[in-house]
């Protein structure tokens, strides 16, 4: 998988970010209207480079590029048949404060004929069409977690050897949990059903209050919840009325992994992976984690549409 090589290279740079001039922002705003961090650009370039150097990928869509990238095969027949959608470095605003960040990717088979230039429709496929998805977390250790539709496996990088080892076979979301992850600073703008769910989490009872944990880095909050049980919530807010997270290269891949691990991922009304995308950088509300917790939240939203 070309992302393993890129993950090692990005990991090396992330781990020494405090020592070389690669911290901070580039004074440039990306297509999302967000300040691009130097490491964002670095990670983007590394993944694009490694993905285009293989006769596998015919197109790439990245959070850091407004339009998708056509990959011309070195092979004249151009039998490359996979599209990759990627968030090269998610949570990059945390880099300067030494909080874990991650890479998220999603892989589809192209829909258009082999050998022809890919078109936007090749990227706007529902999450249920993914053939693979994964994330890399650059944390206390660097892990690659991915699925190809037959369960979820986690690999930990041995930096001394530059090799990923199968450290977490058959990963699965605990069916229930007691951790909820949400930026409560946006509370007043949350839909009523989400507000009521948060109050439910905080209520004294046999199994509550739950614990509130929010790292502000999707891959980190997600990974913790998958190990310990929990739910991650990013509702619509005033600043992001459609939600903040991007459907194609954040929510769909994380939803694929969650469902393969026995968890659940919804936008408040339906499964994330059933949504038919309409644009590359489309945002959605995102609720993902232990199945029972997501189902409880869905009930609160249903009762308070």
Q: Could you tell me which stretch among 9-17, 48-56, 88-96, 193-201 binds ligand P6P (CB under 6 A)? A: 88-96
CB of 220 to ligand P6P, least distance (A): 8
CB of 35 to ligand P6P, least distance (A): 11
Binding test (CB under 6 A) with ligand P6P, winner from 3, 30, 217, 252? 217
Note whether 90 binds ligand P6P by CB under 6 A: yes
Check residue 33 and give left, alpha or beta (phi > 0: left; psi -120 to 50: alpha): left
Note whether 38 binds ligand P6P by CB under 6 A: no
* Residue 210: both structure tokens together: 């739950």
50 versus 225: smaller Cβ distance to ligand P6P: 225
Binding test (CB under 6 A) with ligand P6P, winner from 167, 183, 196, 282? 183
- Are the C-beta atoms of residues 167 and 154 closer than 8 Å to each other? yes
Q: Could you tell me which stretch among 133-141, 169-177, 217-225, 293-301 binds ligand P6P (CB under 6 A)? A: 217-225
Cβ count within 10 A of residue 199: 10
Note whether 64 binds ligand P6P by CB under 6 A: no
CB of 254 to ligand P6P, least distance (A): 10
CB of 108 to ligand P6P, least distance (A): 22
- Are the C-beta atoms of residues 134 and 287 closer than 8 Å to each other? no
**How many residues touch ligand P6P (CB under 6 A)?**
10
Binding test (CB under 6 A) with ligand P6P, winner from 78, 93, 156, 196? 93
Closest CA to 84 of 151, 157, 2, 145: 2
Exposed/middle/buried for residue 276 (C-beta within 10 Å: 0-12, 13-18, 19+): exposed
Exposed/middle/buried for residue 271 (C-beta within 10 Å: 0-12, 13-18, 19+): middle
Note whether 235 binds ligand P6P by CB under 6 A: no
Distance CA 230, CA 241 (A): 24
Binding test (CB under 6 A) with ligand P6P, winner from 8, 224, 244, 291? 244
216 versus 241: smaller Cβ distance to ligand P6P: 216
Residue 264 in 3-state DSSP? strand
Cβ count within 10 A of residue 160: 6
DSSP code for 246? B
Residues that bind ligand P6P (CB under 6 A): 90-91, 93, 183, 216-218, 221, 244-245
């Amino acid at each position: 998988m070309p992302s393993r090589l890129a993950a090692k290279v990005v990991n090396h740079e992330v781990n020494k970010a405090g020592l070389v001039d690669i911290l901070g922002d580039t004074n440039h705003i990306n297509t999302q209207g967000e300040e691009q961090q130097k490491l964002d650009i670095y990670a983007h370039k590394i993944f694009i480079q490694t993905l285009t150097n293989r006769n596998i990928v015919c197109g790439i869509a990245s959070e850091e590029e407004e339009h998708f990238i056509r990959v011309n095969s070195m092979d004249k027949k151009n039998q490359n048949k996979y599209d990759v959608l990627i968030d090269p470095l998610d949570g990059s605003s945390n880099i300067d404060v030494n909080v874990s960040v991650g890479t998220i990717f999603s892989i589809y088979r192209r829909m258009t004929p082999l050998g022809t230039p890919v078109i936007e429709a090749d990227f706007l496929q529902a999450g249920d069409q993914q053939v693979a998805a994964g994330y890399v977390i650059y944390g206390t250790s660097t892990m690659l977690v991915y699925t190809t539709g037959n369960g979820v496996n986690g690999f930990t990088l041995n930096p001394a050897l530059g090799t990923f080892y199968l450290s977490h076979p058959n990963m699965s979301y605990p069916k229930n949990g007691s951790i909820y992850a949400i930026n409560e600073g946006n509370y007043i703008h949350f839909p009523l059903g989400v507000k009521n769910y948060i109050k439910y989490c905080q209520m004294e009872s046999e199994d509550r209050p739950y614990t509130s944990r929010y790292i502000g880095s999707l891959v980190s909050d997600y990974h913790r919840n998958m190990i310990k049980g929990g739910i991650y919530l990013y509702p619509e807010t005033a600043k992001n009325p459609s939600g903040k997270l991007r459907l194609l290269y954040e929510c769909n891949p994380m939803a694929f992994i969650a469902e393969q691990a026995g968890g659940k991922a919804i936008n408040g009304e339906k499964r994330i992976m059933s949504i038919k995308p309409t644009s590359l950088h489309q945002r959605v509300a995102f609720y993902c984690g232990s199945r029972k917790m997501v189902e409880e939240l869905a009930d609160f939203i249903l009762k308070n549409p």
